[in-house]
Amino acid sequence: MIRLPSPKEKYQYLIKNTASRDDMVYSFQQLADQWLAEKREKKAIECLDYAMQVLEESTSTEERVTLASLYHQVGHLWRQLGNHKLTGMYYKKALKLYKDIHTSAPHYDHAASHFILASFLDQIWKLKPAQFHYERALDMMAQVKDKDSKEVAAIKQKLAAIRQKGVQGK
């Protein structure tokens, strides 16, 4: 069996060899995928954390979009591990970054970020905030997708379900 390098070892190697920002991020994403294949989610999160650190000072829109995507990925991993606090934190970071990136017009990624946060909040029975984010997702998604798209339909279905939960919970 091949021994995977620890995220710290990989970071030191990349710094020593003066890897470019893109190479560093790509290398950490690849190493994270390898750790995930080994079912080692926390090691994967550690790799992605190094990748996020490389990108957090970036002003490039492309790199900021990559960073937001990494925030979502780490949020998903924490969600799998059952850490609600960190899941919410990373989903909110992604949402904020997409909001900052897409200021001029609604964008699919921004709408999807609201949906992801809403589904998480719905899962942990935070119905009012979940409903708010589903509604924001619906407003944006309806502007960037056809009103009969599968995305819009899925959000409408989630909103109907959450309203039903709210009625049952009263």
Give the confidence band of 12 by pLDDT, cuts at 50, 70, 90.
confident
* Domain 102-170, CATH: 1.20.58
What average pLDDT does this structure show over 137-145? 94
pTM exceeds cut of 0.75: yes
What local confidence, expressed as pLDDT, does residue 4 receive? 82
pLDDT above 90 (res 168): no
Span 146-162, pLDDT tens digits = 888 999 999 999 999 99
Mean predicted confidence (pLDDT) in 117-139: 96
pLDDT for position 28: 92
Mean pLDDT of the chain, nearest integer: 92
Query: Can you give the residue ranges of every domain in the chain?
Result: 1-90, 102-170
**Triad 30, 5, 13: Cα angle to 5°:** 85
- Dihedral sign from CA coordinates of 3, 49, 119, 94: negative
Tell me, what's the pLDDT at 35?
A: 92
Q: What is the mean pLDDT of residues 44-51?
A: 96
43 contacts: CB under 8 Å, gap ≥ 6: 4, 6, 7, 32, 35
Give the mean pLDDT of 104-112.
Answer: 94
* Residue 92 structure tokens: 């909110």
